[in-house]
Amino acid sequence: MRTRHYHPSGATHSRSGFSLLEMVIAILILTILSVGTLGYHYLATRMAVRANAEITAARTARFILDNWKKTGGDEHFDLEDLDAGFDQVSKSNQYTATIDRLPMTAEVYWKDIDENTLSMTTIRQIQVTIRWKSDYSTSKLTAGDPSYIMATYVRRDEAGG
């Protein structure tokens, strides 16, 4: 902003610059914009981490089901046999693993849903539930923690199952 100042000699000259009030207002606006941008960046980072966790869970569930399906949905399927880092939790159907820096629990479940005695076939549903802590830690899972469930069907007469 230009202001004209009158000199006692009668000559005028102009001085360019900003007043203190204009500078304070500009700094205040920039501060508000910076805080808003940082908040958006924080939220975007959290959402990206969550999306990566869900992608890892989906890929892990698909990996487990693909390998389990090859056995015809065998009820004695053991994730430790895959040599992929799964550790069984005290002789149960639950396993723990850390994949792509995500500590998770995988639970395998099967159920026969249809049996045809004439053709001697059984249709079995096999299911994997992947769970992880919402804070991505290794502490005990709670009811509010995220999970990913994937299921498929197999014929028991396939793959020698």
pLDDT at 37: 86
Tokens of 17: 């610059």
What pLDDT digit, counting tens, does each position of 11-28 carry?
555 567 778 899 999 999
Give CA separation, 114 vs 45, 46, 58, 128, in Å.
Answer: 46, 43, 27, 20
On whether the CB atoms of residues 108 and 93 are closer than 8 A, the answer is yes
The closest of 120, 119, 140 to 131, measured between CA atoms, is 140
Confirm whether pTM is higher than 0.75: no
pLDDT category at 159 given cuts 50, 70, 90 is low
Q: Is the pLDDT of residue 161 over 50?
A: no
What pLDDT digit, counting tens, does each position of 16-72 carry?
777 889 999 999 999 988 888 888 889 999 999 999 999 999 999 999 999 999 988
Q: Is the pLDDT of residue 90 over 80?
A: yes
What pLDDT digit, counting tens, does each position of 97-136 carry?
999 999 999 999 999 998 887 777 889 999 999 999 999 9
Reduced to 3 DSSP states, what percent helix, strand and coil does the chain have, rounded to the nearest 5?
35, 35, 30
The closest of 48, 59, 47, 46 to 148, measured between CA atoms, is 59
